[in-house]
Structure 1
Amino acid sequence: MTTAQTSQQAVATDSPLLTMTQTTPTVLWNDSADPKELSEAIGWGAVGATCNPVIALAAIKADLPRWTARLHELLEEMPTATESELGWRVVEEVSIDAAKLLEPAFAKYNGRNGRLSMQTDPRLWRNADALADQAEHFSTLAPNVIVKIPAIKKGIAAIEEATYRGVNINVTVSFSVPQAIASGEAIERGLKRREAEGKDVSTMGPVVTIMVGRLDDWLKEVVKRDGIDIDPAHLEWAGVAAVKRAYAEFQERSLRARVLVAAYRNNLQWTELIGGDMVLSPPFAWQQKFQASGHDPKSTMDTPVDPAIIASLETIEDFRRAYEPDGMTEDEFIDFGATRKTLRQFLGADEELDHLVRDILLPAP
């Protein structure tokens, strides 16, 4: 056995995630901006990371002494700022710290990877102009920032406009094939508008997220609510099926944005989605599970989900809405159960961040 073969065998045994990133086009991003977690994930081959109100809140709580001191400094610097403004300033600083860790990958991949995802304020979900403006602001905080905008009607408009302005987009609050296609096509329109004006797109690396586990979660709720008789094991494949369908549609439509997989709930959402030119972004805890699994990653992206499982899932109307490319219109995205639940969770994290800032700056007597 050659030295190279021995080395590759060691990688396969000791680091399944590193094996995936070294032997397939699939890349790994870390669904956390916590510096300790991100540093370890980079050692497993991660070349991107994510921040959002929920993640930022966790990062602040994980290093509360530091951010408590910083909030008091910010209060001196911004004496008239609201709790929300102070909290979001901290979110920006958490994100900038994480972005620095990804600068080597950003240079290596010429902007296609090495990016830190920042999420626009969920309270702006009804205002396309405000979403695009905040996205543009976030893009100035570090050269390798990519900005999350939700896949709802106003968000789709903001995605196109922000892309046109040169902002790299990571679509969020997205669970379905029609949302992914609408978002990918909005990005494509923005890229083409830039190109028509002679503006550079060579270092842009947009991605379109499908939150696989949150689709599964919602369908399980629907099955329980409506008393639908279905094999529970089939429900574990719903998000996987949606990703495979969306990926195929992106290839067929020549959309330049990559599909990104997030919100993990089971191993299938890794083992069955390897090998495509796409991004897998598991939470750190799931990366630890994958690392410990001993799984030898093989290309599975082009392997279809068992037709019998698809037929079973299609007995659920909301699966059909999520799986068929024309299953929902842009007007209907906001009424999809997973969309409402997730957007409300992000709004709740915003409120919790406000409360955290208040408790630090004005503790209860």
Structure 2
Amino acid sequence: MRDLITELLPDELSRSVAGVSGATTNPSLISQAVMSNAAHYRDFLHTLPTSLPAETRLRLLYDQMIIDSAQPLLPLFKHSKQRYGWLSAQIEGGHWMNQDALVARGLELAALAPNVMIKIPGSAQGYRAIEQLVARGCSINNTFCFTVSQLDACLKAIHAGRQRALANGVNTERARYVVSFMIGRLGAEPEFERQARASRIHLGATDKRWAELAVYQAMQALMRKRETPAQLLLCSIKVDTDARGREHCWHLQRTGADTTLYTLTPQLIEFLVRRQQAGRSIAPATEWVQIPGKVLDRLLAIPYFNQAYFEGGLTPDEYARHPAFLTASNDVRLGVQRLHGFIADTLDAPGFTPRVARHPATLEGRA
């Protein structure tokens, strides 16, 4: 499968006709990538002075991975005149940081490479930071988004930031904005099923997928109404297997009537290739899928669904307390902990000798 995928991919991303338009990171993915290239990043850590605080050492390692990840996308970024080739770089502590800290860290990440899009969680503080960063001409990826209320807050922040940019003479013409709806995490959250049981509602796997599609459609309807420059990006996409052992993916097959971007993991790419080989290729829907009325009626009896489905279902203070938001935040904490562990193991390794400090290399065209 690896060889087949390699044959399908272009030699240079700038010549890609496969729809590959960018890449994304988060602390969990970065920790995996660091450990998959452990020798290289141990060498990098050896160049840092041992007197550095642990948090500074982690930040420099994180920044180096962002630089290394952004570089392969630069040809596509330049060839497409900055339309494609973006790398979404997630702020590693963003789920708890205040707006000033988010803005400061966002600007640091944006300065690492010209094609960095700042990835900020959908908390009340996050949306205030998004407005400030948009006003400075930055590109934004709003992550940890599970509800129409969060999308509404993001679109308002982008609009307000662009208005401020216009008033201050800041060019936003080539800035890009995406909202990452973590669609598969919405239905997987245990609180959803707990509330259904409390209301004596049987919530099957299919019901959860319908719930996710209903929220997706409500989000797309809001984006059409706002005529926003932002686009919806589906992530946490799941592949399901039915009772007969057949694979399918509602998140890919029942979305797309409105413009939709998709985050594809290696597992999803393998699924698409398998379906292609079997003569049953996957394509996004060309028309909206009707949510069954009886299913929607059951879902509307569950507060968890209502909070996600309706504009105003959550107050800004509740964004960061949403159960799925808390689960995603915990994943970030675990990713950061793994990076700290990698650094500690490197420094404690026998024969470790610190070298002369150097600053991480930056890409040509530093922002």
In the superposition, the TM-score normalised over structure 2's length comes to 0.82
Q: 1:261 aligns with which of 229, 234, 241?
A: 234
Per the alignment, residue 34 of structure 2 pairs with 60
- Return the offset for 1:303: 3.3
Distance 1:226 1:124, change over 3 A: closer
- Return the offset for 1:337: 0.4
Range moving further from structure 2, 84-93 or 351-360: 84-93
Task: State whether residues 95 and 118 of structure 1, in contact with CA within 8 Å, keep that contact through their aligned partners in structure 2.
Answer: yes
Task: State whether residues 152 and 333 of structure 1, in contact with CA within 8 Å, keep that contact through their aligned partners in structure 2.
Answer: yes
Separation in structure 1 between the aligned mates of residue 83 and residue 60 of structure 2, nearest angstrom: 26
Separation in structure 1 between the aligned mates of residue 80 and residue 311 of structure 2, nearest angstrom: 31
Q: Which residue identity does 1:287 align to in structure 2?
A: I
Task: State whether residues 31 and 339 of structure 2, in contact with CA within 8 Å, keep that contact through their aligned partners in structure 1.
Answer: yes
- Return the offset for 1:182: 0.7
The structure whose residues are more often helix, as a share, is 1
Separation in structure 2 between the aligned mates of residue 232 and residue 214 of structure 1, nearest angstrom: 13
Per the alignment, residue 192 of structure 2 pairs with 222
SS at match of 1:172: strand
- Return the offset for 1:123: 5.6
Whichever of the two has the greater Rg, that structure is 2
- Return the offset for 1:298: 4.5
Range moving further from structure 2, 45-54 or 289-298: 289-298
Q: 1:236-275 residue pairs with structure 2 within 5 A? A: 236-266=209-239, 267-275=249-257
Separation in structure 1 between the aligned mates of residue 72 and residue 257 of structure 2, nearest angstrom: 26
Q: Which residue identity does 1:100 align to in structure 2?
A: Q
- Return the offset for 1:340: 1.1
Per the alignment, residue 114 of structure 2 pairs with 143
User: Deviation per CA, 1:209-263, whole angstroms, max 9, x where unpaired?
Assistant: 1100111111x54314652423331112222221221111011111211111111
SS at match of 1:355: helix
SS at match of 2:264: coil
Task: State whether residues 125 and 150 of structure 1, in contact with CA within 8 Å, keep that contact through their aligned partners in structure 2.
Answer: no
Q: Which residue identity does 2:265 align to in structure 1?
A: P
* 1:103 corresponds to 2:86: no
Q: Which residue identity does 2:20 align to in structure 1?
A: A
Q: Which residue identity does 1:284 align to in structure 2?
A: P
Aligned length: 327
Distance 1:301 1:349, change over 3 A: farther
Q: Which residue identity does 1:136 align to in structure 2?
A: L
Task: State whether residues 123 and 347 of structure 1, in contact with CA within 8 Å, keep that contact through their aligned partners in structure 2.
Answer: no
Per the alignment, residue 213 of structure 1 pairs with 184
- Return the offset for 1:301: 5.7
RMSD: 2.6
Per the alignment, residue 277 of structure 1 pairs with 259
Per the alignment, residue 324 of structure 2 pairs with 338
Q: 1:1-365 residue pairs with structure 2 within 5 A? A: 44-73=18-47, 75=48, 78-122=49-93, 125-218=96-189, 220-224=190-194, 227=197, 228-266=201-239, 267-294=249-276, 295-300=281-286, 302-363=288-349
Q: Which runs of 5+ in 1 are unaligned?
A: 1-13, 19-37
Distance 1:123 1:156, change over 3 A: closer
Separation in structure 1 between the aligned mates of residue 78 and residue 254 of structure 2, nearest angstrom: 30
Task: State whether residues 120 and 141 of structure 2, in contact with CA within 8 Å, keep that contact through their aligned partners in structure 1.
Answer: yes
Task: State whether residues 135 and 170 of structure 2, in contact with CA within 8 Å, keep that contact through their aligned partners in structure 1.
Answer: no
Separation in structure 1 between the aligned mates of residue 252 and residue 163 of structure 2, nearest angstrom: 33
Task: State whether residues 177 and 324 of structure 1, in contact with CA within 8 Å, keep that contact through their aligned partners in structure 2.
Answer: yes
Task: State whether residues 148 and 170 of structure 1, in contact with CA within 8 Å, keep that contact through their aligned partners in structure 2.
Answer: yes
- Return the offset for 1:335: 1.6
- Return the offset for 1:356: 1.4
SS at match of 1:192: helix
Per the alignment, residue 361 of structure 2 pairs with none
- Return the offset for 1:360: 1.2
Separation in structure 1 between the aligned mates of residue 268 and residue 60 of structure 2, nearest angstrom: 29
Task: State whether residues 113 and 205 of structure 1, in contact with CA within 8 Å, keep that contact through their aligned partners in structure 2.
Answer: no
Task: State whether residues 275 and 299 of structure 1, in contact with CA within 8 Å, keep that contact through their aligned partners in structure 2.
Answer: yes
Q: Which residue identity does 2:33 align to in structure 1?
A: A
Separation in structure 2 between the aligned mates of residue 195 and residue 61 of structure 1, nearest angstrom: 43
Separation in structure 2 between the aligned mates of residue 204 and residue 280 of structure 1, nearest angstrom: 19
Task: State whether residues 195 and 304 of structure 2, in contact with CA within 8 Å, keep that contact through their aligned partners in structure 1.
Answer: no
User: Deviation per CA, 1:150-170, whole angstroms, max 9, x where unpaired?
Assistant: 101111100111111111110
Q: Which residue identity does 1:274 align to in structure 2?
A: G
Range moving further from structure 2, 150-159 or 291-300: 291-300
Range moving further from structure 2, 305-314 or 136-145: 305-314
Distance 1:302 1:201, change over 3 A: farther
Task: State whether residues 124 and 130 of structure 1, in contact with CA within 8 Å, keep that contact through their aligned partners in structure 2.
Answer: no
SS at match of 2:145: coil
